[in-house]
Amino acid sequence: MRILCIGISHKTSRVALRERLAFDTAATEKALGSLGNCWPQAEAVVLGTCNRSEIYIARPLHGHPRDHELRKWIADFHQVQIRDFEGNLYSLTDGEAVKHLFRVASGLDSLVIGESQITAQLKQAYAQASESGTARATMNMLFQSAFGVARDTRSEEGARFAGRSVASVAIECAVRSMGELTGKCVLSIGAGKMNELMVRRLGELGAGQVLVANRSFARARRMADQFSAEAVDFASLPDLLHEADVVLTSTASEAPLITRAKVEHAMQHRGDRSLLVIDIAVPRDAESEVAEVPGVKLFDIDDLEDMVISETSKTCDWRAGAVRVIDQSVSDVLDRLKIRQVAPTIDAMYRFMRSVADSELNSAVNKLATHDDIDADRAILARALRRTIRRILHPAIHNLRKASASDAAAAHIAALRKLFNLSDSDK
């Protein structure tokens, strides 16, 4: 079995490219269906987050898809040219692919080192693939191992970083930019997990007024009620931009919700009040041109990365321990994969040998039933055992003799001697 990982992340590209290759829930479902139809013998899991789009594949050793086939599939699925992302994709195989998955699960490969949100996203991706039928035995073993690694690396010291996430960094960015949030009006656009984390933190910081806008007003109201915020009509977004001091946005919208025109109109009614927009959505909710409007500060997911780079030194000790856990876990998983690879052959050998032994045993029993002479019985059983041995060894001996004149003969001989523990004195 071969394990593949192909993807793009915040480490290899800017958000402008990542959003073109993004997988939301609906796109993931469609992608899994397409991958399953194209390569039914392979297993597949698709992971899409604000910082990465990745496809994990488990396929027979000489099967499909291959790397170039996956690249073409990505281009076709997202309707982009391969040349647009060729240099930004990473392709990993077997041990490196497993190691990467474990690093992702533990938060080592995240924008915010050690963040725990990625584990929940991985679990969702695996569950969706299981439902679609593209994640079966190998992916189950692989992803369950990844979840175990995530748990082990976050025990004890790693727990200190579990609360860190892109959402928490977005709030830190708001505080740094505004000085404080007391008395400020903060608008959250969207009602997903990231919005929930941000709104929760806003309440802890004592923001003056927190507004929640979502296409589903009922969902906005549920989240607002949970955190003592106020649900507002999504259709009134242009007017809300007049009121808000800070806009935090994270939706699955395919088109920008915050346009330059809307912001320019809002700024005409704000006097000297500045506007801070923090957009952690992929694809982005705010047009990049919004940053050109006087009095407006715009931060996207890439801008937040600069805030966390200086803090990576604080995680050095934890990362070293996490790497040790991951390295050992990768070794264990690869050993299990190798065992799984030979298991069908071992089972087939046992079935073959049992069928031969059962056949000879039935023949011997029929002959034993005809007399009660113990010496004759012993002779019958001896002949049955000899025939059993000959029949079991016949395919191997026949194929070994056929290969005797080829370059493969030495390898076959060495393999047989090793498999049957034949010593040099047997030569």
Looking at this protein, which amino acid is placed at residue 194?
M
C-alpha–C-alpha distance, residues 293 and 251, integer Å: 22
- Residue 399 sits in which domain range? 354-426
Helix (H) or strand (E) holding 275: strand 275-279
End-to-end CA distance of the chain: 35
Q: Are residues 61 and 140 in the same domain?
A: yes
**CATH classification of the domain holding 59:** 3.30.460.30
**Residues 170/304, Cβ–Cβ less than 8 Å:** yes
Kindly give the confidence (pLDDT) of every residue in the chain, 427 residues in length, as a single tens digit, with 9 standing for 90 and above.
899 999 999 999 999 999 999 999 999 999 999 999 999 999 999 999 989 999 999 998 889 999 999 999 999 999 999 999 989 999 999 999 999 999 999 888 888 777 778 999 999 999 999 999 999 999 999 999 999 998 888 764 554 555 568 888 898 889 988 888 888 999 999 999 899 999 988 888 888 899 999 999 999 999 999 998 999 999 999 889 988 999 999 998 988 999 999 999 999 888 888 999 999 999 999 999 999 999 999 999 988 876 776 555 556 666 777 888 888 889 888 888 877 766 666 666 667 777 777 777 777 777 776 667 777 777 777 788 888 878 877 887 777 777 766 777 777 777 777 877 776 655 5
For residues 157 and 185, state if they share a domain: no
Which 3-state string (H, E, C) describes 137-167? HHHHHHHHHHHHHHHHHCCHHHHHHCCCCHH
CA proximity to 89, closest of 173, 145, 154, 5: 5
The one catalytic residue in 5, 38, 50, 185 is: 50
Cβ partners under 8 Å of residue 103, min gap 6: 109, 326
50 is catalytic: yes
Q: Are residues 173 and 286 both part of a single domain?
A: yes
Task: Quote the DSSP letter at residue 353.
Answer: H
Do the bridges between strand 209-214 and strand 230-233 make them parallel or antiparallel, or are there none, so unpaired?
Answer: parallel
Residue 313 lies in a domain: no
Q: Do 146 and 99 belong together in one domain?
A: yes
Q: Are residues 257 and 288 in the same domain?
A: yes
For residue 178, the domain's CATH number is 3.40.50.720
d(CA 139, CA 126): 8
Q: Are residue 146 and residue 16 in the same domain, yes or no?
A: yes
The whole model's pTM is what? 0.76
Rounded Cα distance between 128 and 31, Å, is 11
